[in-house]
Structure 1
């Protein structure tokens, strides 16, 4: 949507009221009461049980019961020191997430490579292993992850138990079925990823799209402004989005929510018979001028080579731009403007508390983020403060390993007292 030339719009009636303060009760954003307790300890720990009760709205007795179970499972621990004034009643023993006993594994499948990682229960990457696809067939890619994970755990696990494995990838993923429905860039259709990885690793496996996983990661471990609601726009070799509110990420009945790759972003976007611009990457949809054909990593790389830049791959191009090459920077600034158009549409459509942009140019070059925000300011009818409402990813530089681990951790924090085999084995 383009504003009238004079750029006028009605003045806001009043400044927006913050939806959440650090000391206010968080919204109900997890699937179980035990999950609410664990999430509050993650957000506020070390924290006393009485404070957990106040923040969650649960009774002190209920909080004590859930904490006893979480302590028994080794998910939280008591700190040695107490909180509050001395000598006034029973001392408050603060609780925090216990990162000593357990890890989760994460895997991410990109177009040209895959990443396997270990993450602790606070969402911190412990170790990762990224490798190019030797054979992009599903059985080869997924089967090879088991050996890589075993080696990574032996080298960096420090005796901790891996609770489960999360898998994230682009395009359409059916979380309930554990299936990669369609990944046209890889040529995968109806791949039973959960079954293949469970058989190969012996771990409980959870599968989701990388944009939904990263949206959940932002709510769990990222910027506090993402807690209430956020839209996440992922721009890499694949382009997609996710919308999350109150800890729930919307998937849609066909697991297709967030499919923004083929939105038209230029004058060519509405004409299927128009010739693509010089250097543009042909898109799988066959439509020139769509978002993915304009801003995906292969498209930007192809444009760079058409302009004579001697770059072997997209990371080379990014480093060239960061180092100050004007042609490379120009390509990323153009990308930022196009991404800004779609960001404005998404802000107007969903009106989230914050829109998170996962795009390496905006993450590493302030001028690209400024260009993107300026485009939002020109085009959005509802966003009055792009600097507050549009933010880069909290995980720039570690997006791929975080995505996989967040799938597993999101499941754990939703239902920490569920049937996780590692807890049963521990007695």
Structure 2
């Protein structure tokens, strides 16, 4: 049986796994190849402000570990100067495992160094007790590695979930929707898989993904806010590219922001909380009661709206209106360069995103974007936690 982890309090401004910036020189080189590859060593030196000798040595180590590869030089005038062999990310040799734990199911995926999904599986929980979920995850991770990862070296495992997640301790401190408290899941998975394991909250994980390879990565590496809306609602925010954790790794808890006119009972026992008003559980329950969907998930509601159901569209629009009000408040608080909304309707349809934008004050609606990963949000979240670790210190 998994023993509850001891709670700790630490300073939020100290570096923790997943929070550090890629200051490691090898990480800086690898990140330059990710951003600009195929790229010559001389261009990497200019981009990273490292010496040519340092870049050459680090590139050699990254090549040896098969994190990058040399690619054919672009055709140019023959016989002029020394040839520059470009470098690019090696998409074939290594991978990471991404795990996401949602209220109804788990997602386990294999991703390459560009965050592309190579394989994934989703399974409903047999039992939501931590011991049962962890045991099932260990089986599914082993099966995924056997079926799809045998020819790749797996570098790390990343896990994302809702609630209060202490990434420095590898612990889910509190997840009311699952009924979890002080679950040391990081240590349990590391012991079973033999891999470095990093965990984080949904929103912080997805903001890391946006910073690594999102459609607005440049803005995400400046100041950014990401609002995650699923069965759990939470927020991540960054300044200068650094994602804030808080002194207890609890930053971003917005589930209980007050919402006017909401009579849904929250897990905290009160009514009028944001999470209770906009959670997928509530949305799906309403759609089932109206006979709008056959399968109990938000994808069915989105599909019904896309097929012309006015009732399904109205459900998504009302949810987007409430999400937009929360997003407007967050934008006023943080004034970010970009605000991402990772919400099922806005991720897949243009109208809910426009409804969210319509709640913003004049002049800032253009800073609001849907997730860059609409087809694989959950798998990407878990994978990004591992990839952030890889790109920070790859050697």
Task: Give your verdict on TM over 0.5.
Answer: yes
Q: Name 1:401's counterpart in structure 2.
A: 379
1:82–1:91 CA contact under 8 A, matched in 2:
no
Aligned ranges for residues 143-222 of structure 1 at < 5 Å?
Answer: 143-157=135-149, 159-222=151-214
Q: Deviations over 1:156-181 (max 9, x none)?
A: 22511211211110011111111111
2:220–2:241 CA contact under 8 A, matched in 1:
no
Change (3 A) 1:312 1:93: closer
Q: Name 1:256's counterpart in structure 2.
A: 250
Q: Name 2:300's counterpart in structure 1.
A: 316
In the aligned structure 2, how far is the partner of 1:134 from the partner of 1:308? 26
Which of 370, 382, 390 is the equivalent residue of 1:392? 370
Q: Name 1:423's counterpart in structure 2.
A: none
Which of 106, 110, 117 is the equivalent residue of 1:125? 117
Q: Name 1:15's counterpart in structure 2.
A: none
2:234–2:253 CA contact under 8 A, matched in 1:
yes
The alpha carbon displacement at 1:217 in A equals 0.4
Q: Name 1:299's counterpart in structure 2.
A: 282
Q: Deviations over 1:363-405 (max 9, x none)?
A: 11211111111111xxx3xx61413x01110110201111111
2:155–2:390 CA contact under 8 A, matched in 1:
no
Count, aligned residues: 373
Q: Name 1:284's counterpart in structure 2.
A: 267
2:37–2:88 CA contact under 8 A, matched in 1:
yes
In the aligned structure 2, how far is the partner of 1:183 from the partner of 1:394? 26
Q: Give the unaligned 5+ runs of structure 2.
A: 1-19
Choose 182-191 or 192-201, whichever is displaced more: 192-201
The alpha carbon displacement at 1:286 in A equals 2.8
Q: Deviations over 1:322-372 (max 9, x none)?
A: 222111110110111111111111112112111111011111121111111
TM-score by length of 2: 0.90
Choose 366-375 or 50-59, whichever is displaced more: 50-59
2:45–2:51 CA contact under 8 A, matched in 1:
yes
In the aligned structure 1, how far is the partner of 2:276 from the partner of 2:106? 23
Q: Name 1:23's counterpart in structure 2.
A: none
Does 1:136 pair with 2:128? yes
Which structure has more relative contact order (CA 8 Å, sep 6+)? It is: 2
Q: Give the unaligned 5+ runs of structure 1.
A: 1-27, 269-275, 418-427
2:254–2:274 CA contact under 8 A, matched in 1:
yes
TM-score by length of 1: 0.83
2:288–2:296 CA contact under 8 A, matched in 1:
no
1:84–1:92 CA contact under 8 A, matched in 2:
no
In the aligned structure 1, how far is the partner of 2:23 from the partner of 2:204? 16
1:41–1:96 CA contact under 8 A, matched in 2:
yes
Q: CA RMSD in A?
A: 1.8
Change (3 A) 1:247 1:86: farther
Q: Name 1:10's counterpart in structure 2.
A: none
Larger Rg: 1
In the aligned structure 2, how far is the partner of 1:342 from the partner of 1:85? 57
In the aligned structure 2, how far is the partner of 1:335 from the partner of 1:84? 55
1:104–1:409 CA contact under 8 A, matched in 2:
yes
1:262–1:292 CA contact under 8 A, matched in 2:
yes
Secondary structure of 1:302's match?
helix
